[in-house]
Amino acid sequence: MTVFCTIDDKSVPLYRIMWVAEIPHFCGHPECEHEGDYEVRLEQGESVWASQNDRKNVLQAIETWHDGSESDLDDQGESWN
């Protein structure tokens, strides 16, 4: 299991993701380059922009990463929670 996911050609560590927008960006500004993209907010106020497919993949990667029981085991295979 990798801790990285690809968002708009960038390998982003899953643990840096704070939230993922539920609806696509729309500001109405004629020069906006992110209309229809989904904001993925990272720690320290940074953001990357994801397509609908990237957004789906990010959410799936986070769920898989969170659900992974391997990370909850110590060196002897016993849970430390």
CATH of the domain at 16: 2.40.50
Would residue 19 count as lying in a domain? yes
pLDDT score for 77: 52
How distant is the alpha carbon of residue 64 from its chain centre?
A: 11
Tell which residue, 46, 61, 63, 56, has the closest CA to residue 24: 56
Q: Which domain holds residue 42?
A: 4-26+34-67
Is 63 within the bounds of a domain?
A: yes
Has residue 80 been placed in a domain?
no
Res 73 pLDDT > 70: no
Residue 75: inside a domain: no
Average pLDDT score over residue span 11-24? 97
Does the global pTM surpass 0.85? no
Looking at the structure of the chain, the number of domains it has is 1
Is pLDDT above 90 for 10?
A: yes
Q: How far apart are CA 81 and CA 49, in angstroms?
A: 35
Residue 6, pLDDT above cutoff 90: yes
Q: Say if 81 falls within a structural domain.
A: no
**Does any domain span residue 73?**
no
State pLDDT tens for residues 30-64: 999 999 999 999 999 999 999 999 999 999 999 99
Dihedral over Cα of 21, 46, 27, 36: its sign: negative
